[in-house]
Amino acid sequence: MTSLGLWVARRTDGLGETDIAVGYARAQAPTMYGLAFVFVFVVETVGVSFMLAPYPVVHLIMLLLDLYTVFLVLGLHAAAVARPHVVGPGGLRVRRSAGLDLWIPLERIASVRYDLRFPSKNKPEDGVLEVAIASQTSITVELAQPVIIVSLLGREAEVHTVRCHADEPRAAVAAIKKLLPINS
């Protein structure tokens, strides 16, 4: 819900003065708004209101739960907008909403390239982190030295390749390459 406040205030989290924000939320917006928000939640809220009209207490409880769900979906999208990937003098920060925040120092980046992929939901490759948005990645970052990623549950994994999505992948790749000591 903090992200919802950031989104309304048009602020981003973790962006310094010299940093470049690399958005990734545009690809998921049609799904979040079109299918989930408009169709499912609004139609369901109106339908349940008519069905539960004779039961005012149950109607109020369901209305509050439906409104909470609508705010939750908006908050999930707001987290993607308010927490973009960040390219800066210190490195690359790859994020997925509020659930993933991976810092990659510039000296660990061997190469970066535009690479549109549609990752499989099956078993991911060992040492590869795929941060897919709308079932796609568009940037591949190969690392000279692996980085450790910690999941929300505390499980650690060593990563040597990071694939993520960006709304403007070619511009993001150019910004990262510009900061690398040896332009890859």
Q: Report the 10 Å Cβ neighbour count for 10.
A: 8
Q: Which of 80, 92, 101, 112 is nearest to 149 (CA)?
A: 101
Distance between CA atoms of residues 153 and 5, nearest Å: 26
Residue 184 has pLDDT above 60, yes or no: no
Q: Which residues of 49-67 are buried (b: 16+ CB within 10 A; e: fewer)?
A: eeebeeeeeebeebeeebe
pLDDT in tens, 1-49: 676 666 676 777 777 788 888 988 888 777 766 666 666 677 777 888 8
Residue 93: other Cβ atoms inside 10 A: 19
CB 112 within 8 A of CB 140: yes
Which tokens go with 75?
């908050």
The whole-angstrom separation of Cα 173 and Cα 114 is: 7
Report CA Rg, the chain: 20
pLDDT in tens, 79-134: 888 889 999 988 999 998 878 889 999 999 999 999 999 987 777 788 899 998 88
pTM of the predicted model, to two decimals?
0.79
E-strand ranges in 5-96 read 20-22, 85-88, 91-96
SS3 171: helix
